Chain A
Amino acid sequence: MGQNKASRRDFLFKSTLSGLGLGLMGNNLFAESFGKENDLLMKAPSKAALTITDIKCAIIGGSPVVRITTNQGISGYGQAEIAKKYLKPFVLFYKEYLIGEDPTNVERCMLKIRRMGSFKPYGSAVSIIEMALWDIAGKAASLPVYKLLGGKIRDRVRVYTTAVTQYRETSGINPDDYAQAVSKVKELKEGFTIIKMPIGFHSQMGGKAPNFFYGDPVGPGNPPHGNRGPLTEQGLKRIISCVEAMKKVLGDGIGLAIDCGPGFMLSDAIRLCKSLEPYNLMWMEDLLTGDYRPYVMADDYLELTRSTSVPIHTGEQIYLRQNFRELIERNAIRVIGPDVADAGGMAEMKWIAEFADLHGIQMAPHGIYDGLIGNAAQVHLGAVMPQNFIAFEYSFATPEWWYDILDGVEDQVVKNGHIDVTDKPGLGVNFIVKEAKKYLSEEDSKFFD
């Protein structure tokens, strides 16, 4: 770790020196100085263009990691959801379009590949390539990425946590289970101020709770959240009682958000939201579509949103601003949750956040499985999003040895439910190559070479 830090410092030192050299050696118009001002005697751009030389992808501990290498020794990294172990060929698909491009003109690179992505998971490769491009652009400029995205407007970024671990330790369908899970989260040293819990078709209720909906649970061998159908009255009451149990534990000091589906019928969703109004929930997420469904259904969400005071949330599966247009412009939703590793990348997320803000819609970005590099990207983004930002979904190391293979993750400590914004160049996290190599598969053994 120490060695890695030393080499980065060395790199920065060298780039500063080269700037000075150029300035003094007659990079003429960039470096002249007149009168009393020495405005221009700053780091001049380096002469040779930075170009992309390779795009690599490795699956590290289940997480797809992209590495973009350049002709000047700088690499940029991006990371996608751990659930997307199959992503490597999709990342490499874009390689031929990017070789030889200047990675610091991020938008020009993205123009070449953006249109060849789609709804989750097919926007993921494009998104993490974008993340890696910003990492390079930041490192090349010796700036934290947030400075390339307009500058930070906050010094610490609020996170929310989805209590998957604590939830999985329970039977997952009874009020006691829910009370127990949120109690554990409430006691964590991170001091989370918002907790999200799965209920309904996003939880085990669909598969395990008796008489939960009018339909037979789909068997195993399905992607998650495959159940869908009309809710029974017992199902409705089960959800309400679980929410009630959680609110008893959390009070009004910690916000409660609910991840719900997809899978609810519109009329059930309306009835459920109306019933839950007294609990002042942060939001209800993905009731109708979302998750891995490749469609938006803005009209249905508009019906739901207009029917209740509960803030309705969706969007983790949505790729690009174009697919948010109807949701946002019709105010079909109160909160959106695009994922930086699925929506098209960091600049795309920021734009969508401003687009949402223009319509009074809040931001609560998804990202639980984006790993530590994804988390770093979320902190930079969270620093630049407008005041409609609530919090992003905190991601932790999976497996835990991820904390040992990255330098810079010490900056991701959660204090009072927030993460301080780092000023390190790029995304601010870098591989400790010697450690990380231990976890490379045979196929990926040359990833860091």
Chain B
Amino acid sequence: MAKASNNFTAQRRNAIKMLGLGSTAGLLGMFGNTPAQAANLDIPSHGQGISSAKGPLIITDVRCAIIGGSPVVRIMTNEGVSGYGQAESRKSYLKPYVLFYKEYLLGEDPTNVERCMMKIRRMGAFKPWGAAVSAIEMALWDLAGKAAGLPVYKLLGGKIRDRVRIYNGGIARTNPLSAKDTGIDPQYYADTVSRMKDAKEKVSIIKMAIGFHSSMGSQAPNFFYGDPVGPKNPPHANRGPLTEQGLKRIISCVEAMKKILGDEIGLALDCGPGFMLSDAIRLCKALEPYNLMWMEDLLTGDYRPYVMADDYLELTRSTTVPIHTGEQIYLRQNFRELIEKNAVRVVGPDVADVGGMAEIKWIAEYADLHGIQMAPHGIFNGLIGNAAQVHVGAVMPQNFIAFEYSVATPEWWYDIITGLPDPLVKNGHIDVWDSPGLGVNFIVKEAKKYLSEEDKNFFD
């Protein structure tokens, strides 16, 4: 991991060094614009409102490109400002769903984000069908921030922290763990968290997949009372009653990890979905001595289009282990029972699935009103998604634990994006930056290299 990461870092550093060559004039020169052109650029002063002499800022196009597997939204305006949003890299099919909303947004003022969202929000749903709406919202905030010359966090109430804690949700080598990387025995778990512990990011919280969220369901012998589903399934399809050997396997893997991590680094477990309620209760009780950060998605979650708040309430009341769910949930309305019944202790909405940045902030405050913590999901949201997480992490209340950070997938994403701090992660935190909008932008010349034929006009 270290080697590969250093490689990204070096590349990123190069890009940033190039950018940092002093004056903007120099930069513009390098990339084909002249200082004279730059000086002629009219600086929009939306401050006099959007009813400035120039007329209102309006949306002229909504585009989507799949860049390295990641759906990227670009919202364009009549004044040349664009906003960008990004959805999970696993949703490479998302383009038509993004474009579905285009007709509703053309001609709208993107800086009145909520008015735009009222037009499209109700036409989304549980993951993955809320992702397009969410990525559009992200792009609208990027635009609103750029138009105002403000970092997005200032449009979301102002930051209450200067650095945002992250957790490592499974970045153990160069990329997030894929199903085939996961092991099934204590030694594998010990080795993996050991590497994660030593990584230069110095994270304070590590999350590992166990149970039906790991390969145990399909590869561990006699793990559950059921036959593993075959390969042609979306991930985490196994589900069924746990055997005693399955229970003991999980416990021994957790024990092995805690031996490495001690009480210095928090351990969270991503578990399912797929556990029966009684197994989940027994498992949590058995794991109580390990003071886990949380156990995630035991009953539902991931890509399941339902919440099951009453089942979670049973589980939560049965154990001291903080129960976590929510990455698949779209909108506050679908969090209502979980939160108002105190059915969980931690929620993990994903900014690129839940309905966007303002939505996740609202939910964070809603959770806080009920003593529920926030540990947002986001491992596949890419670098723009990461930037969005930093802005919302800066404004969430003190019930915020950490967000699941995302790395470049593929690695060349670091070469096509500018604006991230370098190094990105210091002592398990990311410093909040002050550049306008989300503060990350495409290096168009570089990014164009990776556009498909179909998307080749994306940056035009």
| Chain A residues engaging chain B, CB cutoff 8 angstroms | 12, 15-16, 19-20, 23-45, 102, 104-109, 111, 137, 141-144, 147-148, 150-153, 321-322, 325, 329, 347, 351, 354-355, 358, 384, 387, 423-425
Contact B157 A12 (CB under 8 A): no
Bound-complex Cα distance A1 to B332 (A): 46
Bound-complex Cα distance A419 to B336 (A): 34
Encoded as 1 (CB less than 8 Å from any A CB) or 0, chain B from 5 to 43 comes to: 000000000001001101111011001110100110101
Q: A33-B33, A151-B115 known; A12 and B158 CB under 8 Å?
A: no
Could you tell me how many residues of chain B have their Cβ less than 8 Å away from some Cβ of chain A?
Answer: 75
Stretch of B173-181, B266-274, B289-297, B442-450 on the interface side? B442-450
Stretch of B186-194, B313-321, B347-355, B433-441 on the interface side? B433-441
Contact A105 B158 (CB under 8 A): yes
B454 proximal to A (CB < 8 A)? no
Contact B443 A34 (CB under 8 A): yes
Encoded as 1 (CB less than 8 Å from any A CB) or 0, chain B from 404 to 442 comes to: 000000000000001100000000000000111101011
| Chain B residues engaging chain A, CB cutoff 8 angstroms | 16, 19-20, 22-25, 27-28, 31-33, 35, 38-39, 41, 43-51, 80-82, 109, 111-116, 118, 144, 146-151, 154-155, 157-160, 332-333, 336, 340, 358, 362, 365-366, 369, 395, 398, 418-419, 434-437, 439, 441-445, 448, 459-460
Among B27, B38, B159, contact of A105 (Cβ-Cβ < 8 Å): B159
Q: A38-B80, A358-B332 known; A347 and B157 CB under 8 Å?
A: yes
Q: Which residues of B contact A148 (CB under 8 A)?
A: 154-155
Q: A35-B444, A141-B148, A153-B115 known; A351 and B436 CB under 8 Å?
A: no
Q: A150-B114, A153-B112 known; A34 and B158 CB under 8 Å?
A: no
* Closest chain A residue, CB of each to CB of B366: A355
* Closest chain B residue, CB of each to CB of A385: B114
Contact A29 B41 (CB under 8 A): no
Bound-complex Cα distance A351 to B156 (A): 12
Given A15-B47, A16-B47, A150-B113, 12 other A-B residues pairs in contact with their CB atoms under 8 A: A24-B38, A26-B25, A33-B24, A35-B443, A38-B38, A42-B43, A42-B44, A42-B81, A102-B158, A111-B398, A354-B332, A423-B51
Contact A32 B418 (CB under 8 A): yes
Q: Which residues of A contact B46 (CB under 8 A)?
A: 142-143
* Closest chain B residue, CB of each to CB of A383: B112
Q: Which residues of A contact B48 (CB under 8 A)?
A: 12, 142, 423-425
Contact A107 B158 (CB under 8 A): yes
Q: Which residues of A contact B109 (CB under 8 A)?
A: 151
Among B19, B43, B47, contact of A141 (Cβ-Cβ < 8 Å): B47
Bound-complex Cα distance A356 to B93 (A): 36
Measured CB to CB, the closest approach of chain A to B296, in angstroms, equals 25
Contact A151 B51 (CB under 8 A): no
Contact A142 B47 (CB under 8 A): yes
* Closest chain B residue, CB of each to CB of A320: B369
Q: What are 17 A-B contacts defined by CB distance under 8 Å?
A: A25-B23, A29-B20, A29-B435, A30-B435, A33-B24, A35-B31, A37-B441, A43-B148, A45-B149, A45-B435, A105-B160, A106-B158, A142-B45, A144-B49, A153-B118, A347-B157, A358-B332
Measured CB to CB, the closest approach of chain B to A431, in angstroms, equals 20
Q: A25-B23, A34-B443 known; A152 and B47 CB under 8 Å?
A: no
Q: Which residues of A contact B16 (CB under 8 A)?
A: 29
Contact B22 A26 (CB under 8 A): yes
Measured CB to CB, the closest approach of chain B to A143, in angstroms, equals 6
> Which of the listed residues B35, B114, B340, B395 has the most CB atoms from chain A within 10 Å of its own CB?
B114
* Closest chain A residue, CB of each to CB of B25: A24
Q: Which residues of B contact A387 (CB under 8 A)?
A: 118
Contact A41 B113 (CB under 8 A): no
